[in-house]
Amino acid sequence: MSIEVGSKLQGKVTGITHFGAFVELPDGKTGLVHISEVADKYVEDINQFLSVGDEVTVKVMKVEDDGKIGLSIRKAQDRPKSDRPKGDRSKGDRPKGDRRGGPNKKQRSLSFEEKMSRFMKDSEERLASLRKQTDSKRGGRSKR
């Protein structure tokens, strides 16, 4: 049986580490289920979810040229979209609202000249503060 990306297989957990679990697949090959692919929620301790010897259904996520096989338990579960946890988002499921993350509405209505004036004022204040800090430290620097 060849292992193909996207196929779902039954496997047996053969080892557990702090970063994931090793699963033996039907043809004798072993793949890794990363800790982030064990469950739909945050997994702090993988031992709360899996034990050596457990039979699990896994989905093949990737097969690398060097023979490493990436597996997922959470993606192997068939669930309708409405059953997904709120933190699990797919491509078309984005939060609504202002995505620019820019300044608030008051600042956006300012003209270019007003924005530039505000920037220059803030810049001068920062430079003055830096000069003041640097001048107070200069006495210690020249001794090096």
Average pLDDT, the chain: 80
pLDDT in tens, 88-103: 554 454 455 545 555 5
pLDDT greater than 50 at residue 122: yes
> Residues 10-38: what's their mean pLDDT?
92
DSSP track, 23-82: EE-TTS-EEEEEGGGS-SS--S-GGGT--TT-EEEEEEEEE-TTS-EEEESGGGS---GG
Report the CATH fold assignment for 8-77: OB fold (Dihydrolipoamide Acetyltransferase, E2P) (2.40.50)
Helices (H) and strands (E) in the chain, counts: 2, 5
Confidence of residue 112 (pLDDT cuts 50, 70, 90): confident
Tokens of 142: 């020249």
Task: Check residues 123 and 144 and name the one with the higher pLDDT.
Answer: 123
Is 33:25 a contact under the CB 8 Å cutoff?
no
Is 47:32 a contact under the CB 8 Å cutoff?
no
Instruction: Give the pLDDT confidence score for residue 130 in this predicted structure.
Output: 87
pLDDT in tens, 38-56: 998 898 999 999 999 999 9
Neighbours of 30 (CB within 10 A): 16
pLDDT in tens, 59-97: 999 999 898 999 999 998 876 666 555 555 544 544 555
Task: Check residues 16 and 139 and name the one with the higher pLDDT.
Answer: 16
| CA separation for the pair 139, 129 (Å, rounded) | 17
- 61-74 in b/e form (b: 16+ CB < 10 A) is bebeeeeebbbbbb
